[in-house]
Structure 1
């Protein structure tokens, strides 16, 4: 399904009774397509920010699955292969600037890394963020911010405005990208790397994650 070949393996010996299941560690080797040069410093003012699907499902699902808070939910992790999605995006938007997985630290941290590397400010719009009601509700109850919840199958892309439509259409044609949406844009560098235009018309600072909202889960 992911198009990955397993080319080698290894075994480990541990003390009797010290292992309660299987341990899996992987190392992946990929190929950079000719002419593909993605980097944060290539982002320009006016570029469009796109995510391939809903945010926060993984972090919320893991939190609920631990059972510490007696939360009942149907949420599932968004863990999925993104290789074919990335290849499709590169083909549809030849001038794709940069992409980042929104894993540890969530969307907020991924955008801050991109904005700081590019020397721009990224502005996102609260009413465009793809969040399930269950994730919103869980975050409200627990005092968490969904922008910082970990994701395992989410990419954020920065593409030129003129290529955004083609990129969005191509990404939505993939199983891993059917929920893709535009969430914001890059603008001239300001004092804050990432800001969010709220549903009330104001602006909120979106900082890098400091510390951990949740214990390490990935």
Structure 2
């Protein structure tokens, strides 16, 4: 009897040793992986391709490399280096935000919007998430020979309506026409100027809450299905909208407790959270169950093998706020029509710095890295 008890205790001890060894070995492997990731990120960006590919415009790793290795390398200056949605400028005692963007969506008209209101809303949002009050926009058009004038009128009317809703004015512009076959009907470039009336927010800190203003992935999924190349039907509309009113309410309610804001366009929520994780040297930990995704979007993405976290939004903001005001921030955003589906989706942690993690519905955790390749069609 005593001998059997000793044997059982020995077996239990051996199992405990094996478990501890496995835990240490697993932790060691995780440390090695994290160290490799950090080494790669510390390397100077280098463009390895000889020619531009579609992946360079997808908003993921290839885009980041192109920007850092070519454009930032050539144009580097203190105003550009933050690589924010807008440059923050001091002009004659005033603080201004200045942004520009180009829109090449296909198809030009899709459920819930078109390239015109997309261009206005996107530019307004880039200014608003920078803490500015959007004021003036420019509009440049590259038109293909043979493009229907009636379609151009529709686009221009859509831009006019979107600008009125956002409270901005289109004050200058340009038009170019290229030969048939040299463009995809119509491209639009916009630039915007806004007035910054508040000091830059404090740094992102561990413990801060991560908030998204509504269900994600609706714009990108809508555009993918509108192309007609996929045999999938879903009742979806783009979320394209100007968010400056909602953002103004959030800032009025929470003030300096709003640490950081970004609209989740190319590359989706995953991309913008990777940017803040690297820039602030923190970890972003999301809860999968907390991320709002409409069933239609989730179903379409599952059929296509696409993660909604990487799908573009055009009317959704990601904000990081002090945890003490998380409830108030959520209430302020939900009070606006464009923020009715807002949710707190995660928290800022200290470790592992520079990474975005997702706690899955199955109880595990996975790294949400920048988008690799070009799995999506042109959507903005």
TM-score, normalization by structure 1 = 0.91
Deviation track 1:176-204 (CA, whole Å, cap 9, x = no partner) reads 11111100000112166110111111111
Is 2:311 aligned against 1:149? yes
Greater shift, 3-12 or 110-119, is seen at 3-12
Q: Which blocks of at least 5 consecutive residues in structure 2 are unaligned? A: 1-164
Counterpart of 1:24 in 2: which secondary structure? strand
Report the aligned-residue RMSD. Answer: 1.9
For 2:354 and 2:276, locate their aligned partners in 1 and report how far apart those are by CA, in whole Å: 13
Flag the 1:200–1:116 CA change in 2: closer, same or farther, 3 A.
same
Please say which structure displays the higher CA radius of gyration: 2
The one of 241, 250, 263 equivalent to 1:89 is: 250
Is 2:343 aligned against 1:181? yes
Flag the 1:64–1:20 CA change in 2: closer, same or farther, 3 A.
closer
Q: Report if aligned partners of 1:192, 1:205 keep a CA contact under 8 Å in 2.
A: no
After superposing on structure 2, the runs of 4+ consecutive aligned residues of structure 1 that deviate more than 2 Å are: 8-25
Counterpart of 1:184 in 2: which secondary structure? strand
Q: Provide the residue aligned with 2:241 in structure 1.
A: 80
Is 2:271 aligned against 1:109? yes
The one of 359, 362, 370 equivalent to 1:197 is: 359
For 1:21 and 1:112, locate their aligned partners in 2 and report how far apart those are by CA, in whole Å: 34
Q: Per-residue deviation at 1:65?
A: 0.3
For 1:206 and 1:12, locate their aligned partners in 2 and report how far apart those are by CA, in whole Å: 41
For 1:89 and 1:155, locate their aligned partners in 2 and report how far apart those are by CA, in whole Å: 11
Flag the 1:198–1:170 CA change in 2: closer, same or farther, 3 A.
same
Is 2:176 aligned against 1:12? yes
Q: Report if aligned partners of 1:100, 1:110 keep a CA contact under 8 Å in 2.
A: yes
The one of 321, 327, 350 equivalent to 1:159 is: 321
Q: Per-residue deviation at 1:12?
A: 3.2
Q: Report if aligned partners of 2:208, 2:323 keep a CA contact under 8 Å in 1.
A: yes
Deviation track 1:106-148 (CA, whole Å, cap 9, x = no partner) reads 1111111011111110100011110011111111111111111
Q: Per-residue deviation at 1:172?
A: 0.7
For 2:209 and 2:269, locate their aligned partners in 1 and report how far apart those are by CA, in whole Å: 15
Counterpart of 2:189 in 1: which secondary structure? coil
Q: Provide the residue aligned with 1:129 in structure 2.
A: 291
The one of 46, 54, 63 equivalent to 2:215 is: 54
The one of 172, 180, 189 equivalent to 2:334 is: 172
Q: Report if aligned partners of 2:274, 2:354 keep a CA contact under 8 Å in 1.
A: no
Q: Report if aligned partners of 1:38, 1:99 keep a CA contact under 8 Å in 2.
A: no
Paired positions, count: 215
Flag the 1:32–1:141 CA change in 2: closer, same or farther, 3 A.
same
Counterpart of 1:127 in 2: which secondary structure? helix
Q: Per-residue deviation at 1:34?
A: 2.6
For 2:213 and 2:345, locate their aligned partners in 1 and report how far apart those are by CA, in whole Å: 10
Q: Per-residue deviation at 1:13?
A: 4.3
Flag the 1:26–1:184 CA change in 2: closer, same or farther, 3 A.
same
Q: Report if aligned partners of 2:206, 2:282 keep a CA contact under 8 Å in 1.
A: yes
For 2:312 and 2:180, locate their aligned partners in 1 and report how far apart those are by CA, in whole Å: 34
Q: Provide the residue aligned with 2:139 in structure 1.
A: none
Higher helix share: 2
Deviation track 1:6-30 (CA, whole Å, cap 9, x = no partner) reads 2223333445897885553321111
Q: Report if aligned partners of 1:148, 1:213 keep a CA contact under 8 Å in 2.
A: no
TM-score, normalization by structure 2 = 0.54
Counterpart of 1:78 in 2: which secondary structure? coil
Higher relative contact order (CA 8 A, sep 6+): 1
Q: Report if aligned partners of 1:57, 1:151 keep a CA contact under 8 Å in 2.
A: yes
